[in-house]
Amino acid sequence: EFLDGVDLSRVLRERGQLPVSEAIDFIVQASEAIAEAHAVGIVHRDIKPDNIFVVRAHGRESVRILDFGIARAKSAANLHAGQSTVGNAFDAFTPRYAAPEQWLPKRFGQTGPWTDVWGLALTMVEALTGEPPIGGNDDVATMMGLALDPSSRPTPRLLGADVPDAAEKAFLLALQVDPRERTQSIETFWTELEAALDMPSSFRATSRQPFVSTIAIAPSPV
């Protein structure tokens, strides 16, 4: 597929922080696509604004998920948060958006759908605030410290966004350091967030049915 558009990081640079309704419109499409990948046993493991591509066509904007280059297929029967990881100690990831289990797999266990929950939550926070939740001036050690600090979670309120209490709670759960305490699925995180914002659930009609959305999982453009 030829993609005509820009990634979400550029959208945020051009527009700054987005109104909640606009951020929801973009990221709900991403959440549906990621959830569908999880349903067939694929974990992306590098969800970030750079990998959410906003396609502009026929007077509307839609979203594609890019770069499944480090995605990992897992058996759903053997995928549990906190389970000891196997293989190499480190896999490829983007430090600014890396979940604790990507930094310290021996402590926190393997990556899984909860890893993409982390990445999607950080992406939503960035859309609401206009700034990456984990900064550190590109200092990797600082980014790791922020990701692993249980006393300071990179939630919307921490970065100055005005969100309801229930929405802040949904982000707190999605950004827990220990993946066993974190929201385990994209569907759960997004449903909690929409309920907090008095919006209907996007997953109510589709979570257990074949995927019929126009969202596509696309390779990175060459």
Q: 30 and 120 in contact (C-beta within 8 Å)?
A: yes
Bridging pattern class, strands 52-57 and 72-73? unpaired
- Could you give the CA distance from residue 171 to residue 122 in angstroms, rounded to a whole number? 9
Whether residue 25 lies in the annotated active site: no
Which residue is catalytic, options 7, 46, 67, 116? 46
The type of residue at 146 is: L
Say which residues have a Cβ less than 8 Å from residue 124's Cβ, sequence separation at least 6. 23, 27, 171, 193
Q: What crossing angle do the helices spanning 186-196 and 113-129 adopt, rounded to 10°?
A: 30
Q: 154 and 144 in contact (C-beta within 8 Å)?
A: no
Joined together, the tokens standing for residue 116 give 């993409």
- In this structure, what are the phi and psi dihedrals at residue 115, rounded to the nearest 5 degrees? -70, -40
58: left (phi over 0), alpha (psi -120 to 50) or beta: left
Q: Hey, which residues are catalytic here? A: 46
